[in-house]
Amino acid sequence: MMGVLEAVLGSRPASAFILNYHGRLSLRAEASGHAFKIAECESVEGALLAEQALEAAYARGGPVPRLIARTGGVIVCEWVEGPSCKSLPAAQQSEVVLECQAALWNIAAPDLRAPPRYVHLESLLARLELVGPRVLPGTTIQGIVDRLRACLPEAVDVHLIHPDLTPANIVVTDDGPVIIDNEVISVGAGCEFDVWNSGEALFGFRNPSAIKEYVDAFHRRCPMPSLYSHQPVWDDFRVLRKGLKSLTKGRRLKARRLFRKLEPH
């Protein structure tokens, strides 16, 4: 990672520290008097989509940092200073997340060379196939994967998407909010999942009425009927994501219970 930044900037980083490491590494580094975020994406393809999304959003004044470079599966962005959106009162947090989500939706997505895909949801299914057998039989996991794939509507609506748009992943600057979790931004279908997921992140899964209010507020700004017409699909994928997070944290009983909810009936 340090070699990547040195190659991009032409100088050895003066300092660097790890921001997080959950299978993929992200760093804050300083070089030539400037600060940068270096982050591994899930794949080279994911990094390419992140590059396209960031460039499209930044060119139109969207709430993202400037992309410095992409090399392979790693992206380098300008570091953005500012207080976390999490430090704001709850009502303001919701408004900031909504502002960022609507801004991404309203930016024209770049043309894709391949047919549009549910990039993030496919990633969740691939992770389930990989780690799910730790807690359930492989045949059960395959049945869940097949059912969820079959339920996905045709991927036709392409937008800039971000599956983890939460107050923790936004900083507030004098020029407005900026999304800092930029290694997972992408171009594809599935904005509906993003919206429902942000509502849950803001209010918790035990508060469905508040989640619904957030989704309704987004729909008023960015009308998207599929938010509601396929709501059970987005709900199922939120359960899947929750189960995968539980498994990552070693909570096998909880993960098994969540995955069981997704079995074909």
Amino acid, res. 179: I
The CATH number of residue 96's host domain is 3.90.1200.10
The rounded average pLDDT for each run of 10 residues, N- to C-terminus, in the chain (265 residues) is 70 72 79 88 95 97 96 93 96 98 96 90 97 96 97 94 96 96 95 97 96 98 95 97 96 97 93
Rounded CA separation 31/18 (Å): 15
Element (H, E) at 179: strand 176-179
C-alpha 134/C-alpha 146 separation (Å) is 18
Q: What is the DSSP string of 71-96?
A: ETTEEEEE---S-BGGGS-HHHHHHH
Domain annotation covers residue 216: yes
Residue 56 within any structural domain of the chain: no
Asked whether residue 221 is domain-assigned, the answer is: yes
- By DSSP bridging, strand 74-78 and strand 67-71 are antiparallel
Contact 260, 242 (CB under 8 A): no
62 occurs within a structural domain: no
Per the CB < 8 A criterion, the answer to whether 259 and 243 are in contact is yes
In a domain, 68, yes or no: no
Q: What is the pTM of this model?
A: 0.93
User: How many whole angstroms separate alpha carbon 233 and alpha carbon 180?
Assistant: 28
Please give the residue range of the domain that contains residue 235. Answer: 81-260
| Residue 194 located in a structural domain | yes
- Distance separating alpha carbons of residues 189 and 116, to the nearest angstrom: 6
Count the Cβ atoms, other than its own, within 10 Å of residue 160: 28
In a domain, 58, yes or no: no
Number of compact structural domains in the chain = 1
Q: Is residue 85 part of a domain?
A: yes
**Closest residue by Cα to residue 134 from 40, 240, 248:** 248
b/e per residue 93-127 (b: at least 16 CB within 10 A)? bbebbbebbbbbbebebbeeeeebbbbbbebbbeb
pLDDT of residue 94: 98
